[in-house]
Chains A and B, each alone.
Chain A
Amino acid sequence: MKAANMIRLIIDSRLENVSLVGSAVRGIANTLCIDSTTSYQLELCVVEAVNNDIKHAYHCQAGHSVEIDVLLYPDRLAFKIYDKGESMSPAKVAPFSFDPSKVETLPEGGMGVYILHALMDEVHYKTINGQNIMTLVKYLKNHEKPG
């Protein structure tokens, strides 16, 4: 299905730039009249994916591009995050488990992939000709056509 609308965002690979992407995603979600919690969760997932690119594809080295395409379809919202850094190993959903009553088991990191798979309806990752593409899809349930 062809996208009704597409918005392209490009940032330099600095963690401090990621909030710009987050704010843009939240703004787009607000335009679609998505509720505030879902809007937050969309922002969170895109931020997690872009953070992953900067940290793991580019090893927090500035000077590289992360491109985020926001594709608006009548029934879903898709985000494609592109980088040309080191590809990630197949994003297996690591078991996210801890005992809330045992302080030592609490996670301090490694929650990003779990969050993506828990909140997004589709998560895909592939590498084509040296370019890595993470695709996140959120179905717009019971939603009027955008625009």
Chain B
Amino acid sequence: MQLKHNNVEDVLIVRPMEKRIDASTAGEFKQKMNEWIDSGNRRIVLNLSEVDFIDSSGLGAIISGFKKIGNNGNLVICVVKESVMSLFRLTRMNRVFDIYTSENEALEALSGKA
């Protein structure tokens, strides 16, 4: 799974370049997120602009990263296609994740938090 990533100050931006985060790729995605979190990243923006399909395994992997950070930081999401957003709404994960329409908005939100 191809994941682009870069840092803006102390915020890590992760951008999956695959169209799908599903049962066949969720394990790898979760592993990479765990590695980044284990190495000290506590504020993460997940940019889903390239993703047009997530299944429950893919969603579970994203939730796993969020839980791993816990109260020690935040994982926020940006640029979610309307169809993918319907899964977040269905599972009420739109009430869990802060979801922004642009990467800049997400960065501003994370930078503003202590």
Q: Which residues of A contact B92 (CB under 8 A)?
A: 98, 100
CA distance A121 to B83 in the complex (A): 19
- A54 cross-chain contacts in B, Cβ below 8 A: 23
Stretch of A41-49, A64-72, A79-87, A122-130 with 4 or more beta carbons under 8 angstroms from chain B: A41-49
Question: What are the residues of chain A within 8 A of B83 when measuring CB–CB?
Answer: 36-37, 39-41
* Residue B32 CB within 8 A of the other chain: no
Q: Which has the most chain A C-beta neighbours within 10 Å: B56, B63, B96?
A: B56
Flag if A40 contacts B84 (CB, 8 Å). Answer: yes
A88 to chain B: closest CB distance in Å?
A: 16
Contacts of B55 in A (CB 8 A): 44, 47-48, 51
> Which chain B residues border A51 with CB–CB below 8 Å?
22-23, 55-57
Give chain A's interface secondary structure class.
helix
In the complex, whether A93 has a CB less than 8 A from a CB of chain B is no
B67 within 8 A of A: yes
Q: How many Å from the CB of A109 to the closest CB on chain B? A: 5
Considering the complex, which residues of chain A in the window 56-112 have a beta carbon less than 8 Å from any beta carbon of chain B?
Answer: 96, 98, 100, 103-104, 106-109, 111-112
Interface range, B side:
20 to 34
**A111 and B56 within 8 A (CB):** yes
On whether the beta carbons of B67 and A119 are closer than 8 Å, the reply is no
- How far, in whole Å, are A55 and B20 apart by their CA atoms in the complex? 19
Nearest-neighbor residue (CB-CB) of A15 within chain B: B24
Which residues of chain A have C-beta atoms less than 8 A from B37's C-beta?
none
Check: A19 CB closer than 8 A to any chain B CB. yes
A-B CB contact pairs (8 Å), 11 listed: A18-B24, A37-B83, A40-B52, A40-B53, A44-B55, A107-B91, A108-B60, A109-B60, A114-B91, A115-B56, A115-B91
